[in-house]
Chain A
Amino acid sequence: MATVAKEWREIPARYNLEGSECGNCNRKYFPKRSMCPFCRRNGFGKMHPYQVSRKGKVFTFSVIHEAPDCNRSLKPYAVAMVRTDDGLLISGQLVDVDLSKIEIGMRVRSVLRKLDEDGASGVIHYGFKFVPDL
């Protein structure tokens, strides 16, 4: 079972879609990186927090029927790769949606939801999921 330290460390990204922007080339990343893969040494120490857009469009998606134990109660459930309005690509679940009506190009926005939990007495994991942006 995981400790709470990992959960706490990831709160800015997992709850609030905080990524990184390279102070050298201005490329943006999610999740955050401590070094820009393109500028490498020249960008080290120049990575700043970056708020990723909470809105975007479905780039591609799938409906999962065979799920790991932690998500067994959810299935079938949808996952998507979303192109955010500021151009990043992010993966997550797509909820509050008719599974037969999902389409590439559909407008979505990110919301905070429960992801899963480490058993009855363990950590409850929260994070972003996507919902239709009506």
Chain B
Amino acid sequence: MREVAIVGTGVTKFGELWDKSFRSIGIEAGIKAIEDAGMSGSEVDGIFIGNMSSRFINQQHIDALIADYSGMATRNVPAVRTEAGGASGGVAFRQGVMAVASGMHEAVLVGGAEKMTDLDDASTASVMDSTADAEWEASMGLTLTSLYAMITRRLIYEGTATREEIASFAVNAHKHGALNPNAQYKSPITLDTVLRSGPVAEPLNVFDCAPYSDGAAAVVMVPLDVAKKMGVDYVKVVAACQASDTLALFQREDITTFKATTAAAKEAYRIAGIEPKDISVAEVHDDYTVGGIMALQDLGFFKKGDAGKAVLEGQVEIGGKIAVNTSGGLKARGYPVGASGVAQVVEIADQLRNKADKRQVANAKYGLAQSVGGTGSAVTVSILEAI
């Protein structure tokens, strides 16, 4: 297999982009990434796009739409849309890596896009609930938030983390989001903001939950040997792994750890030949605060029982032991679902190329991105290396 490099990144502002359509935000991110790579676009011979649900915009065939409006269809470039709930973007990225690594494609554009605010909140929530088991969780009256809420209650009951420690993950997210011009929320919050916000599914409150957002992100990838001759800043993709678990949360032995995360991470560290302590900057899937806490443990950054305390103490801030969710994460940067996994890779690539402005982490060699679908039914873990 060939080694793969990211040579360009692009991301739109995340938020309630009422004046923009799905197709316009998707194209905006792609053009930014191609410009960043110093390419014309005619080099691209494959498109992969992470997009979770056609129900948000009532449009199937998203791949054809993006190929058409990006101008790639004039050259008949193939496009593939991937869906894996919240991990849709992470899976698209991995497919793009495999396409270049295998030699099937020479230059791939991986995008992620979602337009969630064209539907009312309750309808959007129902779409999100169907990333859990639609027949045996959602249709029985359970919501995706309630599933994470039940994980939260169990974590607290077992003494793995306190309610305050779990809430502090959102405080860290907002602190970093305030430094990101593309973030949906740029205002710092306190622990009280989270703990006193209205309940969504007890014990989780509004500020424990990532918002519904519109947005898109994209990266351009080529073989590493080609990247070296392009004269642009690039990063090496050292691992792009994915793992599965049961669709329904209730079919697991243990609901306080996501085995798909531990499995994908184990494989990614093995391929990269590094350990968790070698990672300086990470983007983890905090669709709920508790998901962020679990990720820190499942990825091996902290031992079970230590992650919550570490977040509360500021150890995951920029300048701390490991900088986590420097973009603001899903919570503060925003959570346009399919865009999310690609946006994480954009943030890590920008950090490793010293392009993260006020959020820059000093001397980072390795960065990691983790994207989660449903309640950990599909997880991607990718590791990038600075050159």
A-B contact count (CB 8 A): 93
* B39 interface hit (Cβ, 8 Å): no
Report the bound CA distance from A65 to B153 in whole Å: 16
Q: Which chain A residues in 66-81 approach chain B with CB under 8 Å?
A: 66-69, 71-72, 74, 77, 79-81
B141 touches A89 (CB 8 A): no
**Max chain B CB contacts within 10 Å: which of A10, A92, A115?**
A92
Name the one of A31, A71, A104, A125 contacting B153, with C-beta atoms under 8 angstroms: A104
Smallest Cβ-Cβ distance to B149: which chain A residue = A62
1/0 per residue, CB under 8 A from B, across A30-69: the answer is 0100000000000000000000000000011111111111
**Max chain A CB contacts within 10 Å: which of B123, B139, B203, B249?**
B139
Report the bound CA distance from A29 to B129 in whole Å: 23
Decide yes or no: A61 and B143 within 8 Å by CB, A68-B125, A69-B122, A69-B123 being known contacts: no
* A91 interface hit (Cβ, 8 Å): yes
Main secondary structure of the interface of B (DSSP, over half): helix
Q: How far is the CB of B228 from chain A (nearest CB, A)?
A: 45
The interface residues of chain B lying within 8 Å CB-to-CB of A20 are: none
Decide yes or no: A62 and B139 within 8 Å by CB, A68-B126, A91-B250 being known contacts: no
B202 touches A81 (CB 8 A): no
Report the bound CA distance from A71 to B136 in whole Å: 16
Q: How far is the CB of A41 from chain B (nearest CB, A)?
A: 19
Q: How far is the CB of A108 from chain B (nearest CB, A)?
A: 14
Q: How far is the CB of A124 from chain B (nearest CB, A)?
A: 13
Smallest Cβ-Cβ distance to A91: which chain B residue = B250
B125 touches A91 (CB 8 A): no
Q: Which chain B residues in 132-158 approach chain A with CB under 8 Å?
A: 135-143, 145-146, 149-151, 153-154, 157
* A90 interface hit (Cβ, 8 Å): yes
B150 touches A65 (CB 8 A): no
Q: How far is the CB of B159 from chain A (nearest CB, A)?
A: 13
Q: How far is the CB of B196 from chain A (nearest CB, A)?
A: 14
1/0 per residue, CB under 8 A from A, across B105-141: the answer is 0000000000000000011011001000001111111
The interface residues of chain B lying within 8 Å CB-to-CB of A81 are: 150, 249-250, 255
Decide yes or no: A115 and B149 within 8 Å by CB, A60-B157, A66-B201, A91-B248 being known contacts: no
B135 touches A31 (CB 8 A): yes
* B103 interface hit (Cβ, 8 Å): no
B141 touches A71 (CB 8 A): yes
Main secondary structure of the interface of A (DSSP, over half): strand
Q: Which chain B residues in 154-168 approach chain A with CB under 8 Å?
A: 154, 157
The interface residues of chain B lying within 8 Å CB-to-CB of A116 are: 141
B: number of interface residues (CB 8 Å):
35
Report the bound CA distance from A92 to B201 in whole Å: 14
The interface residues of chain B lying within 8 Å CB-to-CB of A60 are: 150-151, 153-154, 157, 255
Decide yes or no: A31 and B201 within 8 Å by CB, A68-B122, A68-B129 being known contacts: no
Report the bound CA distance from A65 to B239 in whole Å: 40
Decide yes or no: A115 and B141 within 8 Å by CB, A65-B201, A81-B250, A91-B136 being known contacts: yes
Name the one of A64, A90, A127 contacting B250, with C-beta atoms under 8 angstroms: A90
Q: Which chain B residues in 233-255 approach chain A with CB under 8 Å?
A: 248-252, 255
Smallest Cβ-Cβ distance to A2: which chain B residue = B139
The interface residues of chain B lying within 8 Å CB-to-CB of A77 are: 141
A66 touches B125 (CB 8 A): yes
B residues contacting A by CB (< 8 A) are 122-123, 125-126, 129, 135-143, 145-146, 149-151, 153-154, 157, 198-204, 248-252, 255
Other than the given A65-B201, A66-B125, A93-B140, 7 more pairs (CB < 8 A) read A60-B153, A64-B200, A65-B200, A65-B202, A79-B141, A79-B146, A79-B201
A residues contacting B by CB (< 8 A) are 10, 29, 31, 59-69, 71-72, 74, 77, 79-81, 89-93, 104, 115-116, 125, 127
A-B pairs, 10 with minimum CB distance: A62-B149, A60-B150, A63-B202, A62-B146, A60-B154, A89-B250, A68-B126, A62-B201, A91-B250, A66-B200
